[in-house]
């Protein structure tokens, strides 16, 4: 039996909060599938994604196939003190770097919160397209993200567009897996 062909990406568009809310179940399911998480994870993440939509600088990019199914998603917002991820990363970076270095990265930055492509659509550049569209015009002097450690397509993408290590083998509260925190200055240069 041969594998099903990858869905063709028909369009990549910016989504408003109302547009993402209307497709939130589909978007969170894409996230669960792409990350290999248990199905129940979707119930925990949907309210968090809804809360993120209210943060300053929030923006979202969706990729759709010719059947109008969501095959890729990316979103983020301005990171700020008091946000869970900001506090976790700030604390971790202070253990490794002088405060001035930490503040240079962690003030006025865009947090790339989620970037996922459905597994049967990976490997064709869609993740980079979503990333570039999301960061084109994003607020902030820099962009920061966290990703599980390990050689993955996501790692290759982040390296290709110039992300550098800020923290390695970091453990977030409540997750036993090691993560890397990566960053790079904005804006991104045009793809070549």
Where are the chain's structural domains?
9-185
Catalytic, out of 31, 75, 109, 158: 158
Q: From 177, 180, 139, select the one nearest 159 (Cα to Cα).
A: 180
Q: How confident is the model at residue 137 (pLDDT cuts 50, 70, 90)?
A: confident
Count Cβ neighbours within 10 Å for each residue of 131-156 and write b for 16 or more, e otherwise. Answer: bbbbbeebebebbbbbbeeeeeebbe
pTM of the predicted model, to two decimals? 0.93
Give yes or no for residue 188 having a pLDDT over 70: yes
Handedness of CA 13, 19, 23, 29 (dihedral sign): positive
158 included as an active-site residue: yes
> Which of 78-87, 118-127, 144-153 tops mean pLDDT?
78-87
Q: What percent of the chain has pLDDT over 70?
A: 96
Structure tokens at 136: 């084109």
Q: What share of the chain is helix, strand, coil (3-state, %, to 5)?
A: 35, 30, 35
Class of domain 9-185: alpha beta
Give yes or no for residue 186 having a pLDDT over 60: yes
Q: How confident is the model at residue 1 (pLDDT cuts 50, 70, 90)?
A: very low
Give yes or no for residue 190 having a pLDDT over 90: no
| Amino acid 53: pLDDT | 98
């Amino acid at each position: 039996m041969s594998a099903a062909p990858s869905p063709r990406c028909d369009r990549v568009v910016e989504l408003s909060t109302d547009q993402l809310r209307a497709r939130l179940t589909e978007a969170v399911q894409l996230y669960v599938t792409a990350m290999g998480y248990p199905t129940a994870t979707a119930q925990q993440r949907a309210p968090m994604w809804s809360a993120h939509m209210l943060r300053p600088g929030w923006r979202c990019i969706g990729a759709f196939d010719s059947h109008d199914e969501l095959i890729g998603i990316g979103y983020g917002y301005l990171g700020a003190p008091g946000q869970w991820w900001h506090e976790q990363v700030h604390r971790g970076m202070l253990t490794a770097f002088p405060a001035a270095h930490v503040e240079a990265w962690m003030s006025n930055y865009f947090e790339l919160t989620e970037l996922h492509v459905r597994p049967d659509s990976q490997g064709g550049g869609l993740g980079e397209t979503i990333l570039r569209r999301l960061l084109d015009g994003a607020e902030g002097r820099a962009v920061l993200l966290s990703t599980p450690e390990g050689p993955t397509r996501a790692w290759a993408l982040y390296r290709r567009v110039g992300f550098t290590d800020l923290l390695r083998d970091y453990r977030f509260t409540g997750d036993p897996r090691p993560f890397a925190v990566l960053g790079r200055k904005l804006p991104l240069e045009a793809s070549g």
